[in-house]
Amino acid sequence: MASLAQQRRTLPGFGLGLGVTITYLSLIVLLPLATMLLRSLGNGPAFWWQAVSSARVLAALRLSFGASMAAAAVDVIFGLIIAWVLVRYRFIGRRWFDALIDLPFALPTAVAGITLSALYAGNGWLGQYLEPWGIKVAFTRVGVFVALVFVALPFIVRTVQPVLQDLDKECEEAAATLGASRWQTFRQVLWPSLAPALLTGFTMALARAVGEYGSVIFIAGNLPRVSEIAPLLITIKLEQYDYVGAAAIGSAMLLLSFVLLLVLNLLQRRMLRVQR
């Protein structure tokens, strides 16, 4: 790769491009986010801590992060199976199913939200069969979890699919010829390549699920301290003109997400190093 000076001499537009990019990012992303962080500390750190550590806020944060991890974990299992089936097997309608995987990306969250609650409400399409068994989904934490499973699925499938496509089938066949059992082949041949992709997918799914709003609020019932997610609590604080409180929850969410993403990234780096 040529040095920057050489590149700039050869290709024009560096100064202009950099200027536009930095200006735009500052105005659209940095300035507003910095405002929120400053505003959240506007009444002092003690006030921030008080706002964030109230029982209602803590319960909401715990639910948002807990349900997201559970949903992302479930999607890792089923996402892997789906990706495997779509890559390795040929069956009628495969392409249609493949295209459908992106539905949660494309379908507006509010539409997903009202649809899921129509499905899982006590008298709903599926709810009426679950209720007699004592399984309540809509208006409980389970509802939050179900909505997040829907939202996060494509992240896992779409990160694992290309890895599976690149994996050489011959390696597995060789392992089988050498007497490896199915499980051994999976564990020792496939898993080392799949694990980092699964972790990437898990991380992306988690980041999306933690902040999810539209598809959750209709099915959750939004009972304070029980099924109320953190993003909803932000909108409630805003409606009460508690701007500092809203900013405090927002900054706490960002902080927690940041720490979580950092840990997952370190974990992944370690995983890749061990393999080498």
Partner 1 sequence: MRALLIGVALAFIGLFLLLPLFVVFTEALRHGVLPYLAAIREPDAVSALLLSLKIVAIVVPINVTFGIFAAWTIAKFRFPGRSVLVSLIDLPFAVSPVISGLVYVLLLGSRGVLGPLLQDWDIQIIFALPGMVLATLFVTFPFVARELIALMEQQGNDEEYAARTLGAGGLQIFLRVTLPNIKWALLYGALLSAARALGEFGAVSVVSGHVRGYTNTLPLQVEILYNEYQFQAAFAVASLLALFALVTLVLKTVLEHRFGRELKTH
Residues 9-68 that bind partner 1 (CB under 8 A): 10-14, 16-18, 20-22, 24-25, 28-33, 35-36, 39
Residue 195 corresponds to which tokens in the numbers above? 């694990």
2: number of CA atoms within 13 Å, CB side?
Answer: 8
Binding partner 1 (rule: CB under 8 A), the pick from 63, 208, 245, 268 is 208
* CA nearest neighbour of 253 among 9, 73, 58, 21: 58
29/271 with CB nearer partner 1: 29
Enumerate the H helices of 42-93 as residue ranges.
45-52, 55-88
List binders of partner 1 among 145-204 (CB under 8 A).
149-150, 153, 162, 182, 204
Give the nearer residue to partner 1 in terms of CB position, either 267 or 274: 267
Inter-residue contact 82 to 102 (CB < 8 Å): no
Point out which span in 118-126, 133-141, 191-199, 220-228 binds partner 1 (CB under 8 A).
Answer: 118-126
Closest CB to partner 1 among 102 and 274?
A: 102
C-beta atoms surrounding 78 within 10 Å? 13
Alpha-helical runs (H) found in 101-242: 103-106, 109-120, 127-130, 141-166, 169-177, 182-185, 191-211, 214-220, 230-239
**CB-based contact 168:182 (threshold 8 Å):** no
CB of 149 to partner 1, least distance (A): 7
Residue list 240-269, contact with partner 1 (CB under 8 A): 241, 243, 246-247, 250, 253-254, 257, 261
In the complex, what is the shortest distance from the CB of residue 224 to partner 1, in angstroms, rounded to a whole number? 17
Cβ closest to partner 1, residue 106 vs residue 274: 106
> What part of residues 76-105 is at the interface with partner 1 (CB under 8 A)?
78, 81-82, 84-86, 89, 91, 95, 97-105
